[in-house]
Every structure is written in structure tokens, then in C-alpha cells.
Structure 1
């Protein structure tokens, strides 16, 4: 039996042991882990450093149709990409506002068409609308 002044085994204070010196719970001693760690190689993303998809792959294709012998510099592609993103955001915001105003939950072709009409000037809207209709007919006929 324990002496009256000494703490009983259940009341002994818990002391944290150094993990390297402590034995494993299953009784077997484990080998110490090596201190160096292997670094995993990070895969490069296909999207580049910005981690956002760009429209840059489409610019040479369109430019080839309009002006066959010309090309674009990186700076020109960056400016065009910024312009296209901005225009896309403006049109999408207007179309989303139209959907919210009519208390709908689905963005339709007519909402986008109305958003384009609100964002672009009249002549540019007419040209964009005719090109969109032409692309839509081409898409439907290819099915």
C-alpha cells in the first residue's frame, strides 16, 4: 500500500516524455524517422501563372481570318484578353440584373441578347447579334 504522504499511482502527475526517448505503445521500438523530407515536385498548371483561363488562344485564329499575315505580341494579347474579360463581365452583369428584376433563376439567350443591347452601341450590337445568330445556326446544323 502507498504511504499516507505520497500520491497514489492514479494521482501521479502526468509528465510529457520526449517522443524520441519514449517507447512505442505496442512495446516494439521503432526506428527514428529521418530528419530530411523529400520535396514533392509541383506540377505546372496548364493555365500558366495567372491560374485563370484566357482568351489568348482564340485571337490568332480570328486574326488569321481577318488579316492572314499578321501576328500579335504578348502585350497585345494581354490587352485584348483584358478587354474581352471586361466586356464579358459587363454583359454578364447586365444579363444577371435582368434575370433578377424579372425574379427568374435561369439566364437565357434572350437575357444575354438584351444585356448586349444595353452594353454595346447600336451599330456594334446589330453586328454582334447577326454574328451570334450565324454562329448559332452553324452550331445547330452541325448536330
Structure 2
């Protein structure tokens, strides 16, 4: 007859079974691409003592996305 598992072993086994379930895991949100890191680096090169608010960073990110979109549209128009 095999030895009985101790109470600690039973708890440990129960924990590993709970962690193994796929339904219990939190779902990671999809990563959102942003230029905020690069905007911040350029800001620090130009004005080292100046910060930027999250709202201003959002506006700058929208601006960069808009400029790249316009460049892509113009490039596709010229390629035709």
C-alpha cells in the first residue's frame, strides 16, 4: 500500500491543479503600438528639463500616426 500524502502535499496538489486551468487565467490585453517612447526621447534631447502630460502624449501620438498615414497614402498614389 503506498504512503498517504500529507496535508501539505494535498494542498500543494490542489493549488497546481487550479493554476493549470486555462479558464481561470486572466486574459492579457492586446498590446497597443505607440510612439510615446520615441516622442519622449526626442523631447528629452531637445528640452531635458521638460515633461509631457499623458493627454499631450496622446495628441502627439495621434499626430505621428496621422503623418505616417498621409505619407503612406501619398506613396501608394505615386507608386501607381
| TM surpasses 0.5 | yes
Q: Which entry has the higher C-alpha Rg, 1 or 2?
A: 1
Question: Which of these residues, 5, 10, 28, is aligned with residue 44 of structure 1?
Answer: 28
Task: Sort the Cα spacing of 1:55 and 1:94 in 2 relative to 1 into closer, same or farther, 3 A.
Answer: same
C-alpha separation in 2, matches of 1:99 and 1:38: 48
CA displacement at 1:78 relative to structure 2: 0.3
Partner of 1:99: 79
Question: Which of these residues, 58, 62, 78, is aligned with residue 38 of structure 2?
Answer: 58
Alignment TM-score, normalising by the size of structure 1: 0.38
Question: Which of these residues, 45, 68, 81, is aligned with residue 48 of structure 2?
Answer: 68
Partner of 1:88: 68
As a proportion of its length, which structure holds more helix?
2
Task: Sort the Cα spacing of 1:38 and 1:54 in 2 relative to 1 into closer, same or farther, 3 A.
Answer: closer
Stretches of structure 1 lacking an aligned partner (at least 5 in a row):
1-36, 101-143
Alignment TM-score, normalising by the size of structure 2: 0.65
Equivalenced residue count is 60
Task: Sort the Cα spacing of 1:74 and 1:38 in 2 relative to 1 into closer, same or farther, 3 A.
Answer: same
Stretches of structure 2 lacking an aligned partner (at least 5 in a row):
1-20
Query: Alignment RMSD, CA only?
Result: 2.0
